[in-house]
Each structure stands twice: as structure tokens, then as C-alpha cells.
Amino acid sequence: MRQAGKRERGASLPETAVVMTVLLALLFGIVEFGRAMYTYAFVAQIAREGARWAIVRGNQCTLLDHCNASKTDVQNYVRGLSEGATDVSNINANATWPSTGCPPGSSGNAPGCVVQVTVTYPFNFIAVKLLGVTQIQMSSTSQMVISQ
């Protein structure tokens, strides 16, 4: 067997540096993708929950709190669903009651009409800041028919 010459000594150090750079970039990419997927699933879930909350608080509701719910009521309810690493002040929920989704003779917050809740939340990247991308807006919309 040949012994390593003076020129081959330390050759594994640059190879290790290149491989570790690639592996760490891949690891941080996987972590950021997982965080982004969690945030999108969270935004979609609270949009559904906000719409569910609004459909039982129409203008004929009598037994529940916040009957005849307004945009502010829906916004406050959705913000109250915050969990994990989300910042409550960045959750924006917009509830609308389109008149095109109502049966004839009904309007607004009446049973049979539609409520649409759109939730937006800014997702902040941690590891990707080096590439210049720091934030993307996550958004989800849920639409349901008012029952009360």
C-alpha cells in the first residue's frame, strides 16, 4: 500500500465543507417547507372555523353569544383561535355576506344566505433570508350557508 503523500493530506477537509454545506441547506429547506405547510394548514383551518362560527350566528340566532355576527365579531373569534408560533396581531379575517348567495327575498346575514370568510397571515421565512425572500402571504377562503 502506498502512503499518502504530502499533497493529499487535508484533502478531506474541503470535501467535508462542500458536503456539509449541501446537507445543511437541504435540512433548512425541509424545515422551512414544513413550517410553511403547517402555517397554510393553520390558515385554512381557522378560515373554516370562522365560517362555521358565523353560519350559526345569523340574524335569526337567539340562544348564542354574538348573534347577528358582524365582521368584527368574526375577526375577533378567528384571532382567538391562534395557537403555536402564530402572531395574533398578524391574523386578518374578512367576513362577507354576498347578496348573490341569498334566496329570493333574503339578504345579508339571513338563513340560506352565504357567508365567506377569508383569512390571511404573513409567513416569515427564517433560513431563506439569505436568498432575499423574507415573507409570503398565506391566504384561505371558506364559504358556507347560514343556518340560523
Q: Where are the domains of the chain?
A: 10-145
Query: Which among 113, 140, 136, 109 is positioned nearest to 125, based on CA atoms?
Result: 136
**Starting at the edge strand that comes first in sequence, how are the strands of the sheet with 135-145 ordered?**
92-96, 114-124, 135-145
pLDDT at 3: 61
Type and span of the H or E element at 93: strand 92-96
pLDDT in tens, 11-54: 788 888 899 999 998 998 898 889 899 999 999 999 999 999 99
Q: How far apart are CA 84 and CA 79, in angstroms?
A: 13
Give residue-wise pLDDT tens across range 70-103: 899 999 999 999 887 788 899 999 999 887 778 7
